[in-house]
Amino acid sequence: MPELPEVETVRRTLKNLVLNAKIINVTAIYDKIISGDTNKFIDAVSGQTIRDIGRVGKYLIFILDDIAFISHLRMEGKYNIAGPEVEINKHEHIIFHLADNRELRYQDTRKFGRMELVSRDTYLSEPPLNKLGPEPFFADAEILYEKLKRSRLPIKSLLLDQRFLNGIGNIYANEICYRLKIDPRTPGNRLTEKQTDELIKVAGEILNEAIELGGTTIHSFTTGGISGLFQTKLSVHGQKSCPSCQSPVAKIAIGGRGTYFCKNCQK
């Protein structure tokens, strides 16, 4: 369940568990998870200690001694901690063997997630992270408004474009449009400057609320994975009726993604 708040929750939890742990070796059971040469990745990471875990949008950044690697969980990626005696399950693909005899295991049912070596000091200015737009917390309204003016794409598609804003996924795109009371099909160039300000503010609010709720439910990290309480706070995504007017929530496809909104409240 990795959108920005989920990834932030994973980052905090993982940092508590593996900060200053030394990676002895790596087993790549399904090596397409690793972008680039697998052996190069393993060689670069082995013998290094995890000095920090950062996050940019939906990317986790593992900062090691001499190098770093990014990890994108995509749809289903998770990290488990287990002892070597625990049988590896069929969806655990990358195993980091730690010096303290624990294993950090990357699990991903759909195998969409990716890991990639990056420079420890300049990863922000190199691909793929250099293509990302700002997180909503740091976005400049004028710059976004200029981008909006140039696009006829539905606002919801723009919210999902990580070059526009970074960290928003399908659920939050739906929720942001709802709180803005804006129809998700509205072309970008129809938004006013005032609505752009509001969009940035609402996006940041929703992500922050979700981070707070996500942080409250990390108890079963190694067994059940992570499921944030924000799921109970959703207004339209996957919902039947509008919390405000009780009319049925519409479901359509925008850019092939499931889109939920209230035709009565969102114009």
3 as an active site residue: the answer is yes
Binding mask 166-205 vs DNA (x if CB under 7 A, - otherwise)? Answer: ---xxx----------------------------------
Binding flag, residue 111, DNA (CB under 7 A): yes
Judged by CB, which is closer to DNA: 21, or 88? 88
Q: How far is the CB of 98 from DNA (least distance, A)?
A: 26
- Determine which residue in the list 21, 27, 67, 112 makes contact with DNA, applying CB under 7 A: 112
Active site residue 51: no
**Residue 162 Cβ, how far from DNA at the closest point, in Å?**
5
Q: Active site residue: 111, 201, 251, 257, which one?
A: 257
Amino acid at residue number 161: D
CB 254 within 8 A of CB 248: no
Q: Which residue has the tokens 């190694």?
A: 222
List binders of DNA among 141-170 (CB under 7 A).
150-153, 157, 160, 162, 169-170
* Chain positions contacting DNA, by CB under 7 A: 1-3, 6, 32, 57-58, 72, 74-75, 90-91, 109-112, 128, 131, 150-153, 157, 160, 162, 169-171, 227-228, 231, 237-238, 253, 255-258
Catalytic residues: 2-3, 58, 257
